[in-house]
Amino acid sequence: MAIDVATVKKVASLSRLRESDERLQSLAGELNGILGWIEQLNEVDVTGVEPMTTAIEMPQPMREDVVTDGDKVAEIVANAPKSVDGFFVVPKVVE
């Protein structure tokens, strides 16, 4: 799949980016290079490889699941323009 100048111009427009006509050709080349790398990655055999979030296995720090700071409803809604039963009241924005 190759990206031409017209496609770059359309994507830039959809992204609300302004690029000069001189720059569009180089952007098309850069995007084609990126797509080439993606095609190379698609060729890698990853069967049996588990997904991971980091290359180094690290245990996640655990803590007790206890409430440490609560019962502050009155303090939280004290500065609200309007509240009812401890909840913020906001104007309806969707009809």
For 14-74, give the DSSP string.
HTT----HHHHHHHHHHHHHHHHHHHHHHTS--TTPPP-S-SS--PPP-------S---HH
Write out the two tokens for 28.
């098309």
38 lies in a domain? yes
pLDDT at 7: 93
Number of domains present in the structure of the chain: 1
pLDDT at 90: 93
80 lies in a domain? no
31 lies in a domain? yes
pLDDT at 54: 82
Domain with 10, as residue range(s), is 5-42
33 lies in a domain? yes
75 lies in a domain? no
pTM recorded for the entire structure: 0.49
81 lies in a domain? no
